[in-house]
Amino acid sequence: MIRAARIQIAFLACSAWPALAAAQQAPRQIAHPQWSRSAALYEVNVRQYTPEGTLAAFERQLPRTDSLGVDIYWIMPVQPIGKLNRKGQLGSYYSVQNYTAVNPEFGTAADFKALVDDIHRRGKRVILDWVPNHTSFDNVWIAAHPDWYMHRADGSIMNARDDQNRQTDWTDVAELNYDNTAMRKAMIAAMRWWVDSMHVDGFRCDVAGGVPMDFWMEARHALATSRADLFFLAEGEGPKFHAAFDATYGWEFHHLLNEIAQGKKPTSELDAYLARGRRDYPPGAYRMYFTSNHDENSWNGSEFERMGANHKPAFVLAATITESMPLIYTGQEASLEKRLRFFEKDTVNWHGASLAGFYRAMTDLKHADRALWNGAYGGDQTVLQTDGGSRVYAFTRTRGANTVLVAVNFGDSAAHVSYRGLGQSGTYTDWFDKSRATLGASGALDVPAHGYRVMVR
């Protein structure tokens, strides 16, 4: 679910208000956990991952998933799903009935803890999908604390609105009231339970813009007393989120990739997008870039449906462009082509053509070359001038002695691309086929149709 901010309410601790107001006007740079600096994300759809649809069954798949080289497992909500006003047979993960329990359809709290422990033993991290904007209509809070919810004029509890305060068709979820200080404390306590008891390493926060920013700052500060190196990903887009979050969604970039892949916009639109990012976002902000996720797949189609043969160059851009923290979604490594049903059981077909080698190559490059690290830990980006036309884009990322040259071709024909402006000439190695080439300040590269070249120095 995607939303933007509603009217912010006064900060609970009045003495902290001046600092908070200043942070909201000019987002500060978050001190990112050291372990996140070169990290790539993998989104886990537990229900659809295996025929069993359980945590224990997913844990048995970790050796295969781990081979992708991902660093952070983002696990979609695992709490019990509400039955009142439920959509479909199984309901939405985002209709939470109890914040501090595990959906019995997925297993037990012990199963979740065992999964987290296994991931940690492998040197990886876990962030839990958190749903703070709304709950199910039969959440354990509703009967005991109806004042924790937003009400209509007739006194009934309203269903959730979107991040621009608009009415929605989310009739299965009730909107929480962030004017209520007791509810805020309970929400933070529930998040702390997962940190302290289950040892999660952070949260992906659903509909982050539907919750006041001062709550996010309060929550981050409070949870830091349990873990100083927690990681927060906002399902929201905009510089303001970086006052409390490590990373934000790159929805605009994603939609632009779709349009470029479909031939609706030229690659030169990337320059305008990146210029806006340099202007608006604080230095060091992480941006999560992707070609698919659970929302895109279920509601708008797989990357094959939206991007066709250009899904690979689109992901190469998403994984290498400045500030990027790339995401791989469940099933992408097996060429998942179908839209997974959101409210029903719909197991991933793991027998599709394997793309595991492609995704592993991109995560390996992310780890190996500091020019591609996340946020300010990565290198500066320079766009190369080419004669490739509106379907070709080329740039370099440079940090110290490390340079990565990326050229992508969204066209139907192979391109012999002349370039100029390469500031770091010398011997480069093609990351994929390991061939070597001497590249000067100007020169040429052959880029396959619907393809890419990634050259490393």
Same domain, 219 and 105: yes
Among 335, 354, 378, residue at a domain's last position: 378
Same domain, 107 and 73: yes
- pLDDT at position 161 is 75
- For 37, 369, 371, 378, the CA distances from 400, given in Å and listed in that order, are 17, 11, 8, 10
Q: Is residue 362 part of a domain?
A: yes
Among 378, 396, 418, residue at a domain's last position: 378
- pLDDT at position 10 is 32
Mention every residue, 6+ apart, whose C-beta is less than 8 A from residue 301: 339
- pLDDT at position 30 is 78
DSSP result, 355-405: -HHHHHHHHHHHHH-GGG-SGGGS-EEEEPEESSGGGEEEEEEEETTEEEE
Burial of 339 (0-12, 13-18, 19+ CB in 10 A): middle
Same domain, 118 and 223: yes
Same domain, 148 and 204: yes
Question: CATH number for the domain including 415?
Answer: 2.60.40.1180
- pLDDT at position 50 is 98
DSSP result, 142-208: HHH-GGGB-B-TTSPBPBPP-TTS---S-TTEEEB-TT-HHHHHHHHHHHHHHHHHH---EEEETTG
- pLDDT at position 29 is 63
Same domain, 226 and 326: yes
Among 333, 348, 378, residue at a domain's last position: 378
For residue 420, the enclosing domain spans 385-456
Q: Per residue of the chain (457 residues), what is the pLDDT tens digit? A: 543 333 333 333 333 333 333 334 445 567 899 999 999 999 999 999 999 999 999 999 999 999 999 999 999 999 999 999 999 999 999 999 999 999 999 999 999 999 999 999 999 999 999 999 999 999 999 999 999 999 999 999 999 876 667 777 899 999 999 999 999 999 999 999 999 999 999 999 999 999 999 999 999 999 999 999 999 999 999 999 999 999 999 999 999 999 999 999 999 999 999 999 999 999 889 999 999 999 999 999 999 999 999 999 999 999 999 999 999 999 999 999 999 999 999 999 999 999 999 999 999 999 999 999 999 999 999 999 999 999 999 999 999 999 999 999 999 999 999 999 999 999 999 999 999 999 999 999 999 999 999 999 9
Q: Is residue 258 part of a domain?
A: yes
Same domain, 172 and 211: yes
Domain count, the chain: 2
- pLDDT at position 3 is 36
For residue 193 the two structure tokens come to 């339970």
- pLDDT at position 62 is 98
Q: Is residue 279 part of a domain?
A: yes
Same domain, 279 and 319: yes
- pLDDT at position 169 is 87
